[in-house]
Every structure is written in C-alpha cells, then in structure tokens.
Amino acid sequence: RGGTAEPVIPFAQPGSLTRVYAIASGKGGVGKSSVTANLAVAMAQDGLAVGVVDADVYGFSIPRMLGITQQPTKVDDMILPPIAHGVKVISIGMFVPAGRPVVWRGPMLHRALQQFLADVFWGDLDVLLLDLPPGTGDIAISVAQLLPASELVVVTTPQQAAAEVAERAGSIALQTRQHVVGVVENMSWLEQPDGSRLEVFGSGGGQTVADNLATATGTAVPLLGQIPLDLALREAGDAGTPVTLTAPDSPAATVLRDVARTL
C-alpha cells in the first residue's frame, strides 16, 4: 500500500459530541491563555470532561498556568496527556527542549497539531479548547482545516488598536467558514478602592470587535463578558492554580465562570 493514511481525528468525525472552541486573539499579552486556562478549569468544575490543546507555539504558557510539570507518557501508539485540575492538557511546550525557541515552519506545525488531535488519548470529551497563537497564522488555518466544526472565541482588550487586530484574527472565520461564538474583553478596568472603575486600556474594544464581526459574518456575535484587571488572576496564573479555583467569588472568576457556562 502506498502513501500514508491521514490520521483519524475523533473530534472531526461525523457525530462527534465534543464541542471544539479555538481561543484566538489579534496580538499577544491580551490574556488569551489566561482565559483558556480559566474557562477549562471552570468547565471541569461544572463536571464537564475538558481537554486543552496549547497550540500557541511561540508563547506556550498553558502548562505553567495549570501547574503542569509532568510530561505526557506513551502507551502503545497513544500519548497520555497530563491532567491538571481535572483538565487534560497537551502543549507544544511538552515536545520541545526547555529554553529553546520553536522555529518550526507551517507544515511541521500542521503535523504537530494533527498529532495532538489524533494520537493523544483524550477519551470522551465534552469540550476541547485550543489556545491559538496570536494573529492569523498557519495554526489558525490548520485548526480550521483539521476541525472544520470548531468555533472561534476572540479575546481582546478594550483598547481600539488591540480591537482592530483582534477583528482581523476573528475575520479569518469568514474564509474558513467557522462560527464565531463571541468576544471576551479582558483587562476591561481596574476597580479602585472606592469602587470606581479605572479604564486603564480605554473602553469599547470588545463591543466594537463583536459588532464588526457580526456585520462581517452576518451572524450574531455577542460580547460574552468583560474581565476586570485582577491581581489575583495574574498571581493564580503564575502559581499554576487558576483564579476560578483560588478566588472563585472574585469579579474576574465570576465573569469567567459565566462565560464558561454560556459556551
């Protein structure tokens, strides 16, 4: 027999019951990975079987945010993903030597993603979250090709400049015919001791992205939530125990849990 068979991706099979969300952003540092990690944990706390693929090749941070230090193990031809806080996780960071930059080109990234989806023993998942690299690069296209039914969640800050690039990342859905589920605005404001809100990064970015993507795609694109700046969120992420676990009643965790329940 000539040629190599395409690996079978369970989430791409007809009748798959796993909902797949790709978390996208225009640029780095807007909190895409923090949102992904917290949504995953919030969903797992609600009793869902959740997997995360950290496909942010150049800035993989999911293992750290979820406190994962174990490596995946191999059984026969399958890769067993480490589990943290009830979430199964595979990251590109688990397959590259520590401290070395990832310098893979598009085709290699595509194959890596294919392996993460086909060769990892995910079991029956209710939800699979993919943490995409920022922007509109090769991985976003690969995700759309390998998982045509995946839906996009776009993360942005309120800043107009950030919103413009986020919109570009979201409008990739037009080409790939993916559904945009909604927009999450992060770092929306800092609550002052007197209860007033300091809008550190301006305001309106999330709503603008949602409105413009709705117009571009001809579908409803809601603003799913606005997450305030929160010291606890940053500290919890650094410590590997997301804020949805450490401070579940904080304003940030409350918004994240609401978004998780909307998806």
Instruction: Work out which of 7, 8, 29, 222 binds ligand ADP, going by CB under 6 A.
Output: 29
CA atoms of 15 and 4, how far apart (whole Å): 25
Residue 26 among known ligand-binding residues: yes
Whether residue 1 contacts residue 108, with contact meaning beta carbons closer than 8 Å, is answered with: no
Q: Does 156 bind ligand ADP (CB under 6 A)?
A: no
Residue 27 among known ligand-binding residues: yes
CA atoms of 157 and 226, how far apart (whole Å): 9
First vs last Cα of the chain: how many Å apart? 43
Q: Does 186 bind ligand ADP (CB under 6 A)?
A: yes
Instruction: Work out which of 9, 10, 16, 28 binds ligand ADP, going by CB under 6 A.
Output: 28
Q: Does 179 bind ligand ADP (CB under 6 A)?
A: no
* Token couple for 86: 């009830």
Angle at 219 between CA 252 and CA 255, to 5 degrees: 10
Q: How far is CA 222 from CA 180, 187, 212, 233, 238, in A?
A: 9, 18, 11, 24, 30
Question: Which lies closer to ligand ADP via its Cβ, residue 46 or residue 191?
Answer: 191
Question: Which lies closer to ligand ADP via its Cβ, residue 61 or residue 136?
Answer: 61
Q: Which of residues 58-117 bind ligand ADP (CB under 6 A)?
A: 59, 61
> 10 CB contacts (<8 Å, ≥6 apart)?
16, 18, 117, 118, 122
Q: Which stretch binds ligand ADP (CB under 6 A): 82-90, 109-117, 174-182, 224-232?
A: 224-232
Minimum distance from CB of 207 to ligand ADP (Å)? 17
Instruction: Work out which of 63, 81, 237, 251 binds ligand ADP, going by CB under 6 A.
Output: 237
* Token couple for 73: 């193990």
* Token couple for 249: 């009643």
CA atoms of 214 and 226, how far apart (whole Å): 18
Residue 88 among known ligand-binding residues: no
Minimum distance from CB of 229 to ligand ADP (Å)? 4
Minimum distance from CB of 80 to ligand ADP (Å)? 26
Instruction: Work out which of 20, 22, 24, 30 binds ligand ADP, going by CB under 6 A.
Output: 30
* Token couple for 156: 């942005």
Q: Which helix (H) or strand (E) holds 50?
A: strand 50-54
Q: Does 241 bind ligand ADP (CB under 6 A)?
A: no
Whether residue 26 contacts residue 167, with contact meaning beta carbons closer than 8 Å, is answered with: yes
Q: Does 234 bind ligand ADP (CB under 6 A)?
A: yes
Q: Where along the sequence are the contacts to ligand ADP (CB under 6 A)?
A: 25, 28-34, 59, 61, 186-187, 227, 229-230, 233-234, 237, 252
Q: Which residues are annotated as a binding site for ATP?
A: 26-33
